[in-house]
């Protein structure tokens, strides 16, 4: 018999993290309503082409605006 010393706050049983789920109130609601959560729905490439083009345009404008602001600050 091995006599391992453990601290009084340590558990004597092994902890299995995969057995316990994190509480998610929306998961129960989605299951009840029949909504299936898909990670693909959050991907930018799964959006319609028009929405993607608008997104690319907006992000491009923001990037150019940031570069212009940095350039103006360097000049001044």
Average pLDDT over residues 54-71: 96
70 falls in which pLDDT band (50, 70, 90)? very high
3-state helix, strand, coil in the chain (%, to 5): 60, 0, 40
Q: What is the pLDDT of residue 36?
A: 67
Say what the pTM is: 0.44
pLDDT above 60 for 20:
no
Average pLDDT over residues 42-69: 89
């Amino acid at each position: 018999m091995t006599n391992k010393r453990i601290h009084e706050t340590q558990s004597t049983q092994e902890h299995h993290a995969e057995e316990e789920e994190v509480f998610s109130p929306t998961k129960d609601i989605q299951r009840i309503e029949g909504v299936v959560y898909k990670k693909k729905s959050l991907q930018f490439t799964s959006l319609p082409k028009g929405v993607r083009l608008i997104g690319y345009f907006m992000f491009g404008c923001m990037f150019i605006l940031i570069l212009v602001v940095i350039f103006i600050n360097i000049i001044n």
